[in-house]
A and B are shown apart, each in its own frame.
Chain A
Amino acid sequence: EIVLTQSPGTLSLSPGERVTLSCRASQSVSSSDLAWYQQKPGQAPRLLIYDASSRATGIPDRFSGSGSGTDFTLTISRLEPEDFAVYYCQQYGSSPRTFGQGTKVEIK
């Protein structure tokens, strides 16, 4: 099983700031089969990024993903008020599909 470790656990930031979230895998993720999801309180997760760097339909270009192998990053170039949420990475290249424990981005 591939274990995904996200860091940091919580980020306290202000609107307009740049955000970099990390996701590290315990072993190489097949074919960059890594996704990022955003979850707001009381809502289902929403797909942001797939294949490590491809934006899902309707996702603003301030969200970008990068990385390969065992190290992946989600970057939000400029935080908007609606971006305060929990972010999860997930690998889908092998079973069991696994998620990171999440990073909470909160308002400072």
Chain B
Amino acid sequence: EVQLVESGGGLVQPGRSLRLSCAASGFSFDIYAMHWVRQAPGRGLEWVSGISWNSGTVDYADSVKGRFSISRDNTKNSLYLQMNSLRPEDTALYYCAKVDQWLGYFDSWGQGALVTVSS
């Protein structure tokens, strides 16, 4: 069974940094692309960033480009999202999601990590 468990969320002041992690199990992590999707409180879903199986290709939404950095460690079955220069509008539940291929649908989701950006 696929399991994705996010961690690292919390309350952070505007302009500061935070790093999210996603621990994967139940599948061959090193052959699948992975993504981050976020959901602001009471709002819809927004794709944030994705990374290919070998980290050779990364992609970002315009709203986070230049501030967020996605990475992975296939030896640890882990996905990361380094978030710098955080803004109040980054406040959201951040989901880790698995795809079947680079341009693919999100077939498995974690339960999310809540990031709150506020002074």
Instruction: Please judge, given known A-B contacts A45-B45, A102-B44, whether A95 and B106 are in contact too, CB under 8 Å.
Output: no
Main secondary structure, interface of A, reads: loop
Number of A residues whose C-beta is below 8 Å from B? 25
> How far is B95's CA from A100's CA once the two chains are assembled, in angstroms?
17
A88 x B45 contact (CB < 8 A): yes
> How far is B33's CA from A92's CA once the two chains are assembled, in angstroms?
13
Q: Which residues of A lie under 8 Å from residue B108 when comparing CB positions?
A: 47
Which residue of A39, A50, A88, A96 is within 8 Å of B61 (Cβ)?
A: A96
Q: Which residue of B lies closest to A6 (CB)?
A: B44
User: Is A33 in contact with chain B by the CB < 8 A criterion?
Assistant: yes
Instruction: Please judge, given known A-B contacts A96-B47, A97-B47, A102-B44, whether A47 and B107 are in contact too, CB under 8 Å.
Output: yes
* In the complex, chain B residues 52-107 whose Cβ is within 8 Å of any chain A Cβ: 59, 61-62, 95, 99, 103-107
User: Is A62 in contact with chain B by the CB < 8 A criterion?
Assistant: no
Which residue of B46, B111, B112 is within 8 Å of A99 (Cβ)?
A: B46
A96 x B62 contact (CB < 8 A): yes
* In the complex, chain A residues 61-108 whose Cβ is within 8 Å of any chain B Cβ: 88, 90, 92-102
A90 x B103 contact (CB < 8 A): no
B44 x A92 contact (CB < 8 A): no
Q: Which residues of B lie under 8 Å from residue A102 when comparing CB positions?
A: 44-45
B106 x A45 contact (CB < 8 A): yes
Closest CB of chain B to A18's CB: distance in Å?
25
Instruction: Please judge, given known A-B contacts A92-B105, A99-B45, A100-B44, whether A44 and B62 are in contact too, CB under 8 Å.
Output: no
Q: Which residues of A lie under 8 Å from residue B112 when comparing CB positions?
A: 44
Please report B residues at the A interface, Cβ cutoff 8 Å: 35, 44-47, 50, 59, 61-62, 95, 99, 103-112
